[in-house]
Chain A
Amino acid sequence: MELIDQHTKKIMEGCKERARKMGLRFHDETLEYIVTNRDLLELTPKVMIPTLYDYWVHDVEVLKEKGKYELYPVNPYETVINTRPAISFYNDNNPDWLNVMIFYHVLAHIDFFQNNLYYRHTWDYDFTGQALSDKREIARLRSQNGRWVDYVIEFARGVDNLAGYHSELSRLSHSVAETSSKRLNFYFDVFIQTINKLSIHEYIKEIERYNDCMKKYKERGEQIFFSEVELKHPENKELFRKSLEKKPEGKEDIIQFLMEHSEFLNKEENKWIKSILQIVRNTSLFFQPQIRTKIMNEGWASYWHETLFLLDDRIKGHEVEFARLNAGITSIPRVGLNPYALGMRLFYYIEEMVDKGKYNEIFQRIYDVNERDRFDKDTKQGREFIFKVRENYCDSMFINSFLDQDFATRNKLFVTGMRLNRDKMVYEYYIKSRKLEDYRKVLLDSLYHPPYIEIDKEKNQNNTLYLNHRFEEKPLVNEFIANTMMGIEYLWGGTVQLETSEVAAPAPPQGQYPTFMYPQAQAVQEESDEPGIKWQRVLYTMKDRKLSKETI
């Protein structure tokens, strides 16, 4: 790997200047490297982070048909990684005009990394540096504990997709939001609402009274406000004091819980395991936002590489080449989903909607198609609005909020179905539905979504760890349960139980021979036989590395 030459670097700096003018915000420093195929070979198993810790699974082909990106919440072929400074990788022989386009794409990604709130937890440190020190730490532990380090990495990675990504984010944004005093928060959020149970009317009156006090007495306002409270509710002060003693109940994910409560891990000789758990958890958290913003991130980058490239005066004469390549990247495929195309069109669409002032009630009440079409308030706020969207949204919110019927109609979206034509022995692809809900469902179903598994502390008895899978109409991959639980058992040092849902054992279908049926035929059978699937709660127990299952 070597840095790009001065000539190309100058092009990059020019791109940065132009991108900034349009409102993109990113750190000054970036590093651009030329990579060869050989470099890529080494980088991709490490998800493009050159300093990621060594682990034998990186050397092996990992079978992913089952979980695919559920396993690795990151695209192994990112051109740019979210580090400080941001690092991006380039092919050796890109012509200048192409580099201009890619640079814009990359800069928009960097802008996204550094401004989208879902990346909040990655802003305060450089991951390559962190990864390097983690790698050294793991190497050191390996020299002390040998192969057990790899077992621990494996077991930790077994639950790293359950790391509390959202609670991590909420913790970070919380500390920013906390501007008023703890006592005030306690009074309004806890005391009035849950202990005193005032009506909304009275609640508002209290707020007014507080505001009055603040206005009248300025700095002493709060004190005076509370002196009146103490008169009315002498118990308040004591309750507040008690509430402070109670540890704030942060939500712990499985890895945190194990580190905190596992007797096994807290033995002196096993303390080293905890540092590995920490490393694995942090690494997982670092990668989480990427997959949750794939459509937005690629859409944003495509929006900007297109917009900025066309405005760039340096690339005159390459418009046609650009148009060809860009069309390939950003056209909506006849069948399938392209995040570049979808995301970019959504950003353009949102910008237009806001420019015309269409995101308001007046517009929503208009049913006449022509009138809707003509509606234009010329607000000129579209650009500003999409910057807000890139700051505050993730993929699922993005789709849910903005992919509407007008967008679907404009882009002629539909859901494709596939069925077997037995006469011709071909699979036919056909337009199954043009309904917005159906399309959104297909799209939302395809987004990354790890299972939600929580620790049921009430059922944790006799050193048993009880995990509860909140069922969302999708069972867990069955063959992975045993090994995953075995890993947790090892880290927990005792029995582990998992409550989840499975299909109630279906009676062998009558009058058919399943293997003979083509999958389609079988499905038809199922449909006519039993319209709904019956679910049952089951409890898996992993004890002494043996798995058993019972129906609850």
Chain B
Amino acid sequence: MAEREPAYTVASDSETTGEEKSSPLPEIAIGIDIGTSQCSVAVWNGSEVELLKNKRNQKLMKSFVTFKDEAPSGGVTSQFSHEHEMLFGDTIFNMKRLIGRVDTDPVVHASKNLPFLVQTLDIGVRPFIAALVNNVWRSTTPEEVLAMFLVELRLMTETHLKRPIRNVVLTVPVSFSRFQLTRLERACAMAGLHVLRLMPEPTAVALLYGQQQQKASQETMGSGSEKIALIFNMGAGYCDVAVTATAGGVSQIKALAGSTIGGEDLLQNMMRHLLPDSENIFKRHGVEEIKSMALLRVATQDAIHQLSTQSSVQVDVDLGNSLKICKVVDRAEFEEVNKEVFEKCESLIIQCLHDAKVEVGDINDNLVTNLCKITEVYKGINPLEGAVCGAAMEGAVASGISDPFGNLDLLTIQATPLAIGIRADGNKFVPVIPRNTTMPARKDLLFTTIHDNQTEALILVYEGEGKKAEENHLLGYFKIMGIPAAPKGVPEISVCMDIDAANVLRVLTGVVMPGSRITVVPVMEVRMPMVDDGHGWCAEALNRTHGATMDLVTLKKA
């Protein structure tokens, strides 16, 4: 652990760097679960995990930052007297859905229906995000908003624990790309926090489950046989699934699957159902439209909540501007308009079980967190607190804390949630490290040239699940130069990918000619991700530039 990454420092937040450098006692990292809609903090207090509360005695705090006053304030310290107030355009929320996404991303497009401004130009750059304050659209970024929120969380925790906080374990959605993870780390750095670990949400739950199983087997002096659990986690912004095998405190993540579907989709589908032309009506984002949108959103939210206990609900709302909705909605309709979302959930579970090579009958426990209805569910974990408690436990384990009762004798063996590979064979994405590879990992694959006397090769590193290169997230690119002149297919280009103990990804390449074992050019070692913002833009530019200069580069005769 001593070889951890140095603290991520951003030039602009110098006031947070350089603070308390030496602390003799191991500092316990806190666990933070930043949800799309709610957020919580927990810490190992020496004997157990404790959830922290804010001044209003809340364990779950709404994830938002409002710009309506002189100084922006977030959901940790401020609270709206009514739900509507969050929806007047001056408050930014759903940051976790927007962070690290470009304006060609469907999730960003769906966010245009939110009351604050999300502007897209559809060329693969970051979207323009702004809050409406006194009739002025003031620009901001998801990272900035998240950082403001995290500062509040940090202050709250520091007040509570009476010590400065630096290290955190953050839970993240399974489907987050490494590029998005760096954005999250940047937001933390801006808030003066160092990310010790990023844990996919269901793996944090898996850790907690592993601990409970170990405890149970110790108490019953059981054999501690292997238990397999399916963890399903659906929040407002993301849906994640994991299969874990746990025995003796060791939880092995067998497979992960995740998608950007969540409660927000259920809500938006339902809003569209109640007011089919809502997107066009609210497009202008004027003050009046925002007000109508807020009313519709709250009415829809209420209706969905009521539908979870009753079979039908009367929606009666006056949106102003002579827009009135008076409709009876039943549960069947709700299920119908959200059919795709539920089907996607199902396919994620199937995919995860398939990847883990597990049959439904093998599963000992089903863990469901956040919203869902399933018949047989493991009762040992509070659905809304599982992830943050797991993160807090990991924080204690990763900080090197030991517990005399063996409560922290835990290990989670993580797996890669997404495949990492390069663009090859035309426009295909060829994984070098497949999805669900145990981490740390080191894998390599051989490639070759497609032209005679090709002296250069462009390595485009992608992460994702798409078959075509552009369906994945671009992590970086570089060029191998000095390939000896040879007929096509002769030079062997070895691409090695290494994920080390600190989850840092490095790509190494070398070129070998047949009959030799020594690379003829210096090895390239490139740390990923290296792209800064978005990929649509940059991949297209690479295509345009190098597609045209191909003769210059490759047909050079030796």
Physical interaction between A and B? no
